[in-house]
């Protein structure tokens, strides 16, 4: 690639009806000035492009890291949710079993109380019958004594 110094140091041979040396030098000076400016801008642009490319690579790396992090986070969240569901199901199952045991215990207690109630009713009936029989026999004995008197 041509540099501004190449243009500045370029010398032309003089020919028989050549161009005005002063005009050529003046025009070359303008070209050198413009070319230097463009050359510097080009170098600055290349540097900026290199910096931007580095940033793009850095951002790409960050993006990949974030994507991997999101995948891991999603996987972890799915696992936590699955474990929570399993634990909830186990708790519910245990609660159902405990409720069944409590109901069975209560039903057995009701049966026991009913049986005890029936036994007590029978005992009361037996007591009434015995007491009535006792009273009747005492009354009959009293009546017998009264007749004998």
* pLDDT tens per residue across span 68-83: 999 999 999 999 999 9
Average pLDDT for the chain: 91
The total number of structural domains that make up the chain: 1
| Cα–Cα distance measured from residue 69 to residue 102, given in angstroms and rounded to the nearest whole number | 48
In a domain, 105, yes or no: yes
In a domain, 59, yes or no: yes
Q: Show the domain range for 101.
A: 4-113
CB atoms within 10 A of CB 41: 10
In a domain, 108, yes or no: yes
pTM for this prediction: 0.47
Q: In 3D, which of 146, 141, 119 has the Cα closest to residue 133? A: 141
In a domain, 136, yes or no: no
In a domain, 131, yes or no: no
> Can you give the pLDDT at residue 48?
97
In a domain, 66, yes or no: yes
| pLDDT-based confidence at residue 1 (cuts at 50, 70, 90) | low
pLDDT in tens, 5-50: 777 777 777 766 777 778 888 888 888 888 889 989 999 999 999 9
pLDDT surpasses 90 at 62:
yes
| Side-chain half-sphere CA neighbours of 39 within 13 A | 13
Query: Read out DSSP for 64-104?
Result: HHHHHHHHHHHHHHHHHHHHHHHHHHHHHHHHHHHHHHHHH
């Amino acid at each position: 690639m041509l540099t501004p110094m190449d243009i500045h140091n370029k010398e032309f041979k003089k020919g028989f009806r050549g161009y005005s040396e002063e005009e050529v030098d003046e025009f070359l000076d303008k070209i050198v000035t413009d070319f230097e400016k463009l050359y510097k801008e080009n170098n600055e642009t290349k540097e900026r492009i290199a910096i931007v490319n580095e940033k793009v690579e850095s951002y790409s790396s960050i993006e990949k890291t974030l994507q991997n992090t999101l995948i891991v986070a999603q996987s972890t969240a799915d696992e936590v949710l699955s474990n929570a569901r399993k634990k909830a199901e186990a708790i519910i199952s245990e609660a159902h079993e405990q409720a069944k045991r409590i109901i069975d215990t209560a039903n057995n207690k009701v049966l026991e109380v009913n049986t005890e109630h029936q036994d007590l009713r029978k005992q009361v009936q037996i007591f009434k019958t015995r007491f009535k029989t006792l009273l009747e026999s005492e009354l009959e004995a009293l009546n017998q004594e009264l007749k004998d008197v």
